[in-house]
Each structure stands twice: as structure tokens, then as C-alpha cells.
């Protein structure tokens, strides 16, 4: 039997990866309802770090010439900013 030893990522790297995974899931949503359900199911990730990651990803998409994804990601940020700021 082979045993694998997995070293956990530091919490900040795990959180960053979780933010990126959530952004990718949001980009794959086909309807506004699906988008809202995805955000609601991942509410624990919707915080200032998520907003910062959204801004960085929107900028990255724009620099790569993918304005459609850049605009969508920026809209996610605008849609969630109010709930983060009201906490």
C-alpha cells in the first residue's frame, strides 16, 4: 500500500484558491438564479479578500484581452460589495 503525505497549504493560500474556484464557478453560471444560489451557498467566502481577488482577476482578464470575462468578474464584485460592506 502506498501512503501519500499531503502537506496542507497555509490558510491564506487555501483561501485564495477557494476564491479563485468560486470565481470560476460564477463564470460558469448560466442564469442569474444559478449565480445567486452559488453565492448564497458560498457566503463564507464572500469577504473583503474575495473582493480583492475579484478586482485582481478582472484586471488579469483585461490584460489578457478577455474583456467579456473581465466585465463579468467586475460585475460579481459590484453585486457582492454591498453585502460585504454591510457586515
Task: Dump pLDDT digits (tens) for 31-55.
Answer: 999 999 999 999 999 999 999 999 9
Residues 52 and 58 sit within 8 Å (Cβ to Cβ): no
DSSP state of 86: T
Neighbours of 19 (CB within 10 A): 22
Neighbours of 69 (CB within 10 A): 17
Distance, in Å, from the CA atom of 65 to the CA atom of 5, rounded to the nearest integer, reads 40
Can you read off the three cell numbers belonging to residue 49? 479578500
Task: Dump pLDDT digits (tens) for 47-85.
Answer: 999 999 999 999 999 999 999 999 999 998 888 887 777
What are the CA-CA distances from residue 37 to residues 30, 43, 48 (Å)? 12, 10, 20
Reply yes or no on whether the pLDDT at 11 is more than 70: no
Amino acid at each position: 500500500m502506498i501512503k501519500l503525505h499531503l502537506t496542507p497549504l497555509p490558510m491564506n493560500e487555501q483561501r485564495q484558491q477557494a476564491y479563485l474556484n468560486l470565481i470560476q464557478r460564477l463564470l460558469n453560471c448560466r442564469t442569474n438564479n444559478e449565480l445567486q444560489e452559488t453565492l448564497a451557498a458560498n457566503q463564507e467566502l464572500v469577504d473583503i479578500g474575495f473582493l480583492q481577488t475579484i478586482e485582481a482577476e478582472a484586471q488579469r482578464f483585461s490584460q489578457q484581452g478577455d474583456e467579456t470575462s473581465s466585465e463579468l468578474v467586475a460585475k460579481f464584485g459590484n453585486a457582492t460589495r454591498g453585502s460585504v460592506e454591510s457586515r
